[in-house]
Structure 1
Amino acid sequence: MPPMRAAQYVRMSRDSQRYSIANQAEVIAAYARDRNITIVCTYADEGLSGLAIHWRDGLKALIADVESGHAEFDCVLVYDVTRWGRFQNLDESACYEFMCQRAGITVHYCADEFENDGSLASFMLKNNKRFNAADFSRQLSKKVFLGQSRVTRMGYWRGGMPGYGLRRQLLDETGVVRTTLEYGQKKYLQTDRIKIVHGPDREIETVRRIFTSFVSEGKYLGEIASELNAEQIRTTRGLRWNGETVGKILGNEAYIGSLIYNRSSYKLKQRRVVNPRDMWIRHDEAFPPVIAPELFTKAQEMMRTRRQQRTDQEAIDRLAALGREKGHLTTAIIAAADDILSAESYRRRFGSLVAAYELAGYQPEPRQRLAETADKYRTFLARLAGNIVEQVNRLGGRAIIESDGLLCLNDDCRISFGSARAVNYVSDKVRWRIHADRKAKSDLSLIVRMDASNIGIVAYYLLPTADLAETKVRVLRLSNPVFAQACRYDDLEALCRVCAG
């Protein structure tokens, strides 16, 4: 009888060294040898959580091959039930195994103490294993939450950079200062602690200036940002200021010496939930404040008032009045004007700045429409770059935004950003046109593909900038062969894991 042909599936998160890929493969190989099974291919997910499938390319590829009907194997060998996954819904774990069984492919759990032969006993043991695998993640999540809450109550910082003008100081277990952590750096040992200290004097003065400009002088967020940019003052990441970044400064309670944890929850990789204030874990007066608490409270009151006091119609009427006064409208004019929403607020309320212009009775010139769109995507991509930096550093990599706006990974690889935007043609056919600097001084280009309405991101394409430079067409589209060779990622987390190395 010829030997059965098998695919092996291996996965390692960070649970334990005993679950290393090499250890799993060794146990699986011994199991296959004892049963006259030949391993013909391997599907692997390294360094990935088993809570869900959407970031596990190895398991997705295995299921896709099984579903295609062209799989070149008769069974799947897995170390144990936990490696298949720690799905919080036990039916999801069973579903993927059923897909294999439906295609005539059996799943073997090589290190578990039961044969997965379809008997009642194996069914009960397997479901018990699935429950224990899911419960392990729930209990671990609970322990992490309790530990992080305790650290916050003790007055220590947890997480990445605390905000502009603040720095993280690393202490050993006896409280002796080790060093000041730079952007992207982490603590050395589990027993180390981090406290917040004031950063450079020039940044502290900028924070105080922002609060004074807003509260005492009544300036708007965009106006404050324009002033800072005019003086060549940059954010911690070297970026230009905008209304949103100024707003984050004004809303950050760290500037009055308060540490807050559990504002939102993202437990077990499920949907992020914003928690009510009574669920927050906080420690006030954890370190000297940058500004007076009374000034911070006044800023919050003013922001709430500004958000609530204008209806959509009032916002449009004010924009129309500004257009009549100036003769035309631009983001710079809006930023410099008093008693008006920021350009970003108009975009959020009405879908785009051009849409707000039209409601206000102002028809921008075609060139201005292009400029407004370019500015919108420039802001959008800058925000995306910031999110990538945050996630890559959280995953253990090193990422910064350089002064020219390029993303730098591990002090080595530089990445520029572009977009693939949907264009609707008369035939109702949608095509994606590339907007990117093909001559950017970067190693790689990251092109984000927007959805058909140009609102959300569908996918991320990473390819050498040199390949873009070699394209000769005037209008570059996503259908160009150069993108067939690009690395595609369907979600931001998968991309950031690759960037983190």
Structure 2
Amino acid sequence: MKTVTKIGGQLVFPTQKHKLRVAAYCRVSTDSEEQLVSLATQRKHYEAYITANPDWEFAGIYYDEGITGTKKEKRPALLRLIDDCEHKKIDFIVTKSISRFARNTTDCLELVRKLLELTVYIYFEKENLNTGSMESELMLSILSGLAENESVSIAKNSTWSIQSRFQNGTFKLAYAPYGYDVIEGKLVLQPEQATIVKAMFDQTLAGIGTDAIAKELNAKKIPAKRGTHWTATTVRGILKNENYTGDAIFQKTYTDSHFNRHHNHGEKDKYRVEHHHEAIITKDMFEATQQVIRQRGKEKGALPQDKKYQNRYPFSGVIRCHQCGATFKRRIQGGRNSYVAWCCATHLTDATKCSLKYIKETALKYAFVTMMNKLIFGHAFVLKPLLASLRTLHSDDSITVIQDLDTKLAENAEHQKTLAYLLTKKYLEPAMYQKGNNELLQEAEQWLHQKDSLVDFLNDDNKTVHETRELLQYTCKAKMLTGFDEAVFQQFVEQILVYSRTNIGFKLKCGITLRERLV
């Protein structure tokens, strides 16, 4: 009988004349003092561990602090490590454990395979596992799967703990909205900011738009929450935040099983805690403001409870000046041969701020009839292709972009933390910190605006399809209009944009804007 003896294989590295260039990767999941001490200990350990081997050359230590391990995209040091491997700067990597390297099985296997293609191997100390001597990925797959399950378990326990605090009202906010400070986990009024918040609600109920409010705040050089300039989006965010009524709503967002964060549109329970903190405005004022926002374009100065001005005329609150953004007001022009006209509110107040003069109401009605007759005649060439494209447009791409923006915002926040840390350690001059931090804040604000726009698009997506279908069904059956039809106008037109006294645009509820010349 033949005797077979197994000869243990040795780890074979690429033939090379120079020493093996070895780098270490370490990570801690929070930025607490204890974890930072642990990180410092790991760095000292690996530097001594690598330099003690005469066949190794120290290639550096890559570390992420205060960053989750569930997503590789959220760890800049790890990505920099992979990039250096691609540029042939590293031959071998040492790390504490699979859970420190990646708590996501897919990411772990993807990174290991990528490094194997580059003939760069990883040694996991805790598991005593070396990817250079593995005959298969089975063991790594099992171990990384366990690491991922551990991460999921931790996340579930954390979620359960948070939800329990939601239910009993003991959850402490970590971030204060504009107008408040967080002191020992409680929201405390910031008097100067609270006055500004109250003024925003007052101005909105007085008919002033969010863009105008933002411009006024910027003109007065009043900084926003993070020291940046105001935009209509940030103002609108304040106006829609129920925290200012003294109540708090928890779990507005949630994290799914793949560690992606989403806005909560009813997928999870929400928790309202009444009288959670001191209010800046009353609940009645908040509700009135929401109605004004929903019914934008109403007459300046009209309150939601005041029906005197609502829909008084077909064009009330609908005509918008493209030059300054103000609403047009109805006026009676002329003497004996008087006629109805609409004029920009800004021009009426100060002609030097807006040069756009009045437009006759009869010209607006004639333009609407012309526009609708064009749609009735050419609906097959305009509306059918639009409806078809909307029906085939999936929101998956938008959701992916939102997730990417969330990733960028998280990375941006980490960069802000890094800058603050360097400043406190006096590694960075205050002027350099201010410059870098302002750039990060502006970048974050831009991404937040993009994200808000995409979320609004997803929420309005079904509505747009419905409105387009309604318009198509009407134009397929309708006869040519012979005069202005108020019911048809209110059914399909959202806004009239006035570009000049001879050129306007009808913004339809289905999302398209059609231009017409005034006669």
Distance in 1, Cα, partners of 2:89 & 2:353 = 59
Residue 448 to residue 331, structure 1, CA distance change in 2 (3 Å):
farther
Number of aligned residues: 332
Correspondent of 1:306 among 289, 296, 306: 296
Seen in structure 2, the aligned counterparts of structure 1 residues 133 and 32 have a Cα distance that, compared at 3 Å, is farther
* Residue in structure 1 matching 2:60, options 38, 42, 48: 42
Q: Is the 8 A contact 2:24 2:94 kept in 1?
A: yes
Map 1:116-131 to 2 at 5 A. 116=131, 118-119=133-134, 123-131=137-145
Residue 272 of structure 1 is matched in structure 2 by: 261
- Residue identity matched to 1:80: S
For the residues of structure 1 that align with 2:38 and 2:441, how far apart are their CA atoms?
Answer: 36
Q: Give the equivalent residue in structure 2 for 1:471.
A: none
Distance 1:211 1:28, change over 3 A: closer
With the length of structure 2 as denominator, give the TM-score of the two structures. Answer: 0.51
Q: Is the 8 A contact 1:257 1:285 kept in 2?
A: yes
Equivalent position amino acid for 2:158 in 1: V
Distance 2:116 2:351 in 1: 62
Secondary structure of 1:294's aligned partner = helix
**After superposition, where does 1:22-421 map in structure 2 within 5 Å?**
22-23=41-42, 26=45, 30=49, 37-47=55-65, 48-68=67-87, 70-71=88-89, 73=91, 75-86=92-103, 88=104, 90-114=105-129, 116=131, 118-119=133-134, 123-152=137-166, 153-164=168-179, 166-170=180-184, 194-200=185-191, 202-215=192-205, 217-225=206-214, 235=224, 241-266=230-255, 270-277=259-266, 279-306=269-296, 318-319=321-322, 325=344, 391=413, 395=417, 398=420, 413=432, 415-416=434-435
How far apart are the structure 2 equivalents of 1:286 and 1:12?
Answer: 37
Deviations along 1:85-116, one digit per CA (max 9) or x if unpaired, are 22x2x233122222232333332223324454
Q: SS of the counterpart of 1:249? A: helix
Task: Give 2:406's aligned residue.
Answer: none
Residue pair 1:108, 1:115 contacting (<8 A) in 2 also = yes
Structure 1 distance, partners of 2:236, 2:352, is: 17
- TM-score, reference length from structure 1: 0.52
Distance in 2 between the 1:456 and 1:197 partners? Answer: 31
The gaps in structure 1 that reach 5 residues or longer are 171-193, 335-386, 400-408, 418-442, 450-454, 458-501
Q: Secondary structure at the match of 1:20?
A: helix
Q: Which residue of 2 aligns with 1:13?
A: 28
Q: CA deviation at 1:251?
A: 1.0
Per-residue deviation at 1:254?
1.0
Task: Report if aligned partners of 2:72, 2:107 keep a CA contact under 8 Å in 1.
Answer: no
CA–CA separation in structure 1 for the residues paired with 2:411 and 2:125: 40
Q: 1:279 to 1:3 in 2, by over 3 A?
A: same
Please report how far the alpha carbon of residue 241 of structure 1 lies from its aligned counterpart in structure 2 after TM superposition. Answer: 4.7
CA deviation after TM superposition for structure 1 residue 257, in Å: 1.2
Which AA in structure 2 matches 1:211? F
8 Å CA contact retained: 2:115, 2:121: yes
C-alpha separation in 2, matches of 1:255 and 1:31? 56
Amino acid across the alignment from 1:298: A
State how far apart, in whole Å, the 1-side matches of 2:150 and 2:171 are: 27
Mapped to 2, the partners of 1:444 and 1:231 lie a distance apart of 19
Alignment CA distance shift 1:270-1:208 (3 Å): same
Shift of 1:253: 0.8
Conservation of the 8 A alpha-carbon contact between 2:26 and 2:64: yes
1:257 and 1:288 in contact (8 A); partners too: yes
1:245–1:157 distance in 2 versus 1, CA, 3 Å: same
Q: Deviations over 1:330-378 (max 9, x none)?
A: 99759xxxxxxxxxxxxxxxxxxxxxxxxxxxxxxxxxxxxxxxxxxxx
Alignment of 1:469-488 (within 5 A): none
- Secondary structure, aligned partner of 1:137: helix
Seen in structure 2, the aligned counterparts of structure 1 residues 411 and 62 have a Cα distance that, compared at 3 Å, is closer
Q: What is the CA-CA distance between 1:130 and the residue it aligns to?
A: 0.6
SS in 2 for 1:244: helix
- 1:42 maps to amino acid: G
Distance in 1 between residues matched to 2:24 and 2:289, nearest whole Å? 55
SS of match in other structure, 1:49: coil
Question: What is the distance in 1 between the residues matched to 2:439 and 2:262?
Answer: 33
**Per-residue CA distance 1:144-165 (angstroms, 9 max, x = gap):** 333333444425531222222x
Native 8 Å contact 2:23 2:59 kept in 1: yes
| Distance apart, 1:80 and its partner CA | 2.4
Q: Which residue of 2 aligns with 1:364?
A: none
Q: Which residue of 1 aligns with 2:516?
A: none
**What letter corresponds to residue 221 of structure 1 in structure 2?**
T
Change (3 A) 1:159 1:32: same
SS of aligned partner of 2:123: strand
**Please, what is the CA RMSD of the aligned residues?**
5.0
3-state SS in 2 of match to 1:415 = helix
Q: Could you say which structure has the higher helix fraction?
A: 2
